[in-house]
Amino acid sequence: MPLALIASLSLVLLALLGGCALPPSQTVSPASSPDLARIEKRQKELDAQIAALRGDLSQLQTEVRRQQAQLEGLQRSTVAEKDTARGEITARVAPPEPVAPPAPSAPAPGSATETYLRAFSDYASGRYPQAIAGFEEFLRAFPDNEYASNAQFWIGECYYAQQNYEQAAVEFMKMATRYPQSTRTPDALLKTASAYQKLGRGDEARQLMNLLRERYPQSAAAQKNLEP
């Protein structure tokens, strides 16, 4: 059920939040400074990922609440109008016996929200092959949905997390070219450049960073630098 998926996503997010923070009282000796730098860099990457997860989870919860409200409105409209034989009097007739309405539910299985939620749950839980298949199914069935750009971005993230940087670059560039107005497009260009950097294609990575800063100069991604 979608609500159960949302609950599982929330638990994953809480687990990430609980496990990512560095102990405040930790004392680092000069000899461990390189390790501390790597830990701090990883911390920033995790913070950015958690912020993105929060954004998607919040959007999906809002969508489910909206659809629940629509369902409740339909349930309240069960009173029908009945005309007399002459058509002179119109009366509102309630059902003969009160029937408790079913509990509001999230979208039916196979809907856009259900399909996206399931794939997103797999991604948040680290089941990357299943998440890729789910997001690709979502894009085939709902190519014009408002979450289509997000789905394409998460496909790239799945490949990146598996260190398949070649395919990750392909998927991120696909997202950037198909959805240039998306708020995640600057991040997609940054991740493409990062993937090229890890593949040893430094010149292409720098060209992409220049493109990112030219097209999206005010974005947070444009202010970042690639790893050496």
- Mean pLDDT, the chain, rounded, equals 75
Q: What is the pLDDT of residue 105?
A: 45
- Digit-coded pLDDT (tens) for 103-132: 444 444 568 999 999 999 999 999 999 999
Structure tokens at 44: 């920033």
**Of the given ranges (30-44, 133-147, 150-164), which has the lowest mean pLDDT?**
30-44
For 123, other C-beta atoms within 10 Å of its C-beta total 24
Q: What is the pLDDT of residue 224?
A: 93
Q: What is the pLDDT of residue 67?
A: 56
Distances, alpha carbon 151 to alpha carbons 45, 104, 132, 173, 174, in Å: 20, 27, 9, 13, 11
Structure tokens at 66: 């909206």
With beta carbons less than 8 A apart as the criterion, state whether 107 and 70 touch. Answer: no
| Model confidence at 228: pLDDT above 90 | no
Q: What is the pLDDT of residue 145?
A: 95
Q: What is the pLDDT of residue 22?
A: 44
| Model confidence at 53: pLDDT above 90 | no
| Model confidence at 100: pLDDT above 60 | no
| Model confidence at 13: pLDDT above 60 | no
Longest Cα–Cα distance of the chain, Å, equals: 96
Structure tokens at 211: 């493109």
Rounded mean pLDDT, 163-190: 96
Rounded mean pLDDT, 46-57: 69
Structure tokens at 176: 């950037």
| Model confidence at 36: pLDDT above 50 | yes
- Digit-coded pLDDT (tens) for 177-218: 999 999 999 999 999 999 999 999 999 999 999 999 999 999
Distance CA 193, CA 175 (A): 14
With beta carbons less than 8 A apart as the criterion, state whether 134 and 115 touch. Answer: yes
With beta carbons less than 8 A apart as the criterion, state whether 224 and 194 touch. Answer: no
Q: What is the pLDDT of residue 124?
A: 95
Looking at the chain, the whole-number percentage of residues with pLDDT higher than 70 is 55
Distances, alpha carbon 136 to alpha carbons 31, 63, 117, 211, 212, in Å: 46, 21, 13, 27, 26
Between 88 and 195, name the one with better pLDDT. 195
